[in-house]
Structure 1
Amino acid sequence: MTATIDQNTQAAARASDVWKVYGSGEAQVIALRGVTAEFEQSRYTAIMGPSGSGKSTLMHCLAGLDSVTRGTIHIGNTTVTGLNDNGLTKLRRDKVGFIFQQFNLLPTLTAEENILLPLSIAGRKPDPDWYQTVIKTVGLADRLHHRPNQLSGGQQQRVACARALVARPDVIFADEPTGNLDSRAGAEVLTFLRDSVRNHHQTIVMVTHDPVAASYADRVIFLADGAIVSELFEPTPETVLDTMKRIDVLAEAEN
C-alpha cells in the first residue's frame, strides 16, 4: 500500500520505495519493505503499528538519523539519501526538528537556554516575534529561568517542543513524545502539537503506540512487518483501535 497526498499539495517529507535491511544471511532483518509515503505540509501525521513493525525506523530514515538500504528520502526539495555527514548535519540543523520521549534537556541550562540551544549552536539568533509566539503557545513564560529539575515532566516536554519549533524547521519528528507523561500532561503536549499545526502551519510526523495520542493527528499511517497496510483520516481513538485490532487479526492469520 502507498500512502500519498493530493498531487496539488507539496510534501514536507516523502519516502519512495524505501527498504531498510539490517545484517545479512540468517541474521538478516528487514525493517522496511518498499515503503512509499508522503507527509503533507502543515499537517499532523501519526505513524502506528505493532512493536517491530518499522515505525521508528521509518521516522529515523525520514529524519536523516538512519540511512536507507534502497529507495530515496526527501525533506521538501532536499534529497536526503546520499548526503554526506556535513550535509546531514546541515539538514538536521536547518530543516528538521526533533521531539523525543526522554525530553533530552541539558540539566545545567535553564528552560530558555535549552529552547535556544540549537540556534546558538548554529550561530543564529531567534526571530523575536516567532520566539514570543512559541513561548506563548507552550505556556512557559513564567518558567523560562527554571532548570529542568525544577519543572514537571509535562513542562520539560513542552520545553522540548519549543526547542523543536523555535528554528521553524520544515518538519518536526516526534518519537513517542508523551510516553513518559501522565494522561493530563500528555494531553497538554498533544494539544500544543495540534495547535502548532492548525495555528502556525507547522508540519509534524509522530510515532506513537497510543490510539488516544494518534487521534490528535489529521491522519494515521499504519505499518505492519515493515510495510504500510492502512491509513485513516480524521481519526478517533475508536477508529484507530479498531484498525489496530484488524491488523493484529490479519497478522495472526498469516502466522
Structure 2
Amino acid sequence: MSHATPFPVSPALHAPHGSVAARATDLSKVYGQGETRVAALDSVSVEFRRAEFTAIMGPSGSGKSTLMHCMAGLDSVSSGSTRIGDVELASLGDRQLTRLRRDKVGFIFQAFNLLPTLTALENITLPMDIAGRKADRAWLDQIVTTLGLSGRLAHRPSQLSGGQQQRVAVARALASRPEIIFADEPTGNLDSRSGAELLGFLHGSVRALEQTVVMVTHDPVAASYADRVIFLADGRIVDELREPTADAVLDRMKRFDAKGRTS
C-alpha cells in the first residue's frame, strides 16, 4: 500500500537494508503448570530487519502481544533465544536489561503512558533525562516539527487531544534514536483520522529515518501501512504477507477464523 511519508527523505539516510534489528529463535513462553499450563508461544523463530515496518496479527490469545513483550525484554522467556541486535537478552541482569530497553528500544502503547504533571516536551525527553543524556536538539526539533507538536510542547497531557497525546508518545519513542520501536495497538484509543496520521508518521520514520518498527494490531487497515505482516495462531507463526493491502490482510484473517470454526 502506498502511503506518503511526512518526513523529508534524504538519500544520505538510506543505508543498505538486510541487517537484523531483533531476532527470536525457537522462542517459547509457558504460563502455569499441569492442567493450567498454557503455551502462549510455541517455538517461534522470526527476524525483524532494520528499516522495516512489521505488523503482527492474529486472533485474541494467539500470542502476538506476548511475542512483542518477550522480544522487547518486558517479559522473560521459558526457552529459546531473543536478541536485540547482537545482544542476547537472557544474558543480561536486571540493570543491564533496563539500560538496553532505555537506550536501544522505543515503546508506544495503546495507553499513552504520559506523566500528567509533566509538559509534552518533558514527557518526550524523560527517558533521556533519567539516563543523564542530553537530547540531540536538531533531531528532536525535526521530530517535533514533523509530528506537528511545535506549538504544544508547554502543554500538559490534560490540555492535549488523544491524537496529540499519542503523537507525544511517538516523539518520546523516536527521540533517543532507538534501534527498534515496539508499538502495541498504538491506534486503539484514536479516532480514524488520528490513527491514520499516526500510522503515516510510523511509516514515514521507516522510510526516511531508517527506523525499525514492530507493531501489534488487530486492524487490517493499520497493518496495510507495514512492509510485511506476520500472522500468529495458537502461539505459532502460521503465515506472512509482504506489501500488504487492507483487503489482503482481511482475507487472510477470515481464513484463519474459518479454520478455527471448523477445527
TM-score range, shorter chain: over 0.9
Give CA deviations for 1:145-178 in whole Å, capped at 9, x if unaligned: 1110111000000000000000001000000000
Matched, 1:13 2:22: yes
| 1:214 is the counterpart of 2:223 | yes
Distance in 1 (alpha carbons) for counterparts of 2:42 and 2:256: 17
Query: For structure 1, which runs of at least 5 residues remain unmatched after alignment?
Result: 1-7
Measured in 1, the distance between the counterparts of 2:100 and 2:166 equals 23
TM-score for both structures, normalised by structure 2: 0.92
2:90 maps to 81
Matches of residues 26-105 of structure 1 in structure 2 within 5 Å?
A: 26-105=35-114
Could you tell me which runs of 5 or more consecutive residues in structure 2 were left unpaired when the two chains were aligned.
1-16
Shifted more, 21-30 versus 132-141: the winner is 132-141
* Separation (CA, whole Å) in 2 of partners of 1:31 and 1:142: 44
* 1:249 pairs with 2:258: yes
Deviation at 1:13, TM superposition (A): 0.6
Cα distance, 1:129 vs structure 2: 1.4
Q: In the alignment, residue 182 of structure 1 is paired with which amino acid?
A: D
CA drift of 1:253 comes to 2.4
Secondary structure (helix, strand or coil) at the match of 2:48 reads: strand
Distance 1:252 1:172 in 2: 34
- In the TM superposition, structure 1's runs of 4+ consecutive aligned residues that sit over 4 Å from their partners are none
Percent identical among aligned pairs is 66
Structure 2 SS opposite 1:81: helix
TM-score, normalised by the number of residues in structure 1:
0.95
Counterpart amino acid of residue 159 in structure 1: V
Partner of 1:3: none
| Residue 132, structure 1, aligned to residue 141, structure 2 | yes
1:136, distance to aligned residue in structure 2 (A): 1.5
1:203 to 182, 203, 212: 212
How far did residue 252 of structure 1 move? 2.2
Report the count of equivalent residues. 247
Say whether 1:117 aligns with 2:130: no
Q: What SS does the aligned partner of 1:53 have?
A: coil
Structure 1 residue 81, shift from structure 2 partner: 2.0
